[in-house]
Amino acid sequence: MLQGLLPSGQMTREELDRKLLDGRFCEIRMLFYVGKDLLRWIEQCMELVERDEELKQAGFCYQSFAAILTENPPKKIREKLKSWGVADYKSIFTRALGLNAVFNEVPQRHLITDEFVRHYYRYADQLYACRQLLWNFSEIEAQQFDFDLYASGEYSRMLEKEWGSDSASRFEA
């Protein structure tokens, strides 16, 4: 609509631009939270590396785990993401991690410029690339780490099932 390819109805150019910025800001918020989850996963992987001398010697670091998520996730992860309707996981993950490289909290709308919001995806892509280039790192092959991704509800059901079976066996004993 902003480019005149679709009818804009009664909306002015300013109203269309505001609608675009509001939508982009929602994307930023969503990606920020995805990035927080990815960072938690990377931190857990780093804790594992710290406890395992062989992994520590292999040179795995933040960038190693970020790269396997974005560049070469195991086949079952790619298939699961595809089944969820996530076609371009690489862009989602890199942008989510890029935004989390600079924001500790979801930014308030009035604290970021319209220019940043309008083109956030370009900034986020570059922030991710910059962080990946900060350190030399060992790449992880998909077969070296077996992991899975879970949607929130899926994970909650797994925990519920696990806790339910544990508490039932405690009562039987």
This prediction has a pTM of 0.80
Determine how many CB atoms are found less than 10 A away from the CB of residue 166. 10
Q: Say if residue 53 is exposed, middle or buried (CB neighbours under 10 Å; 0-12, 13-18, 19+).
A: exposed
Please report, as a single letter, which amino acid is at residue 40: R
pLDDT tens digit sequence for 106-145 = 999 999 999 999 999 999 999 999 999 999 999 998 778 7
pLDDT at 172: 47
Chain CA centroid to CA 67, Å: 12
pLDDT at 143: 78
Three-class secondary structure assignment of the chain:
CCCCCCCCCCCCHHHHHHHHHHHHHHHHHHHHHHHHHHHHHHHHHHHHHHHCHHHHHHCCCHHHHHHHHHCCCCHHHHHHHHHCCCCCHHHHHHHHHHHHCCCCCCCCHHHCCHHHHHCHHHHHHHHHHHHHHCCCCCCCCHHHCCCCCCCHHHHHHHHHHHHHHHHHHHHHC
pLDDT at 166: 55
Question: What integer is the mean pLDDT of 74-85?
Answer: 88
Mean pLDDT of the chain: 86
pLDDT tens digit sequence for 15-66 = 888 999 999 999 999 999 999 999 999 999 999 999 999 988 999 999 999 9
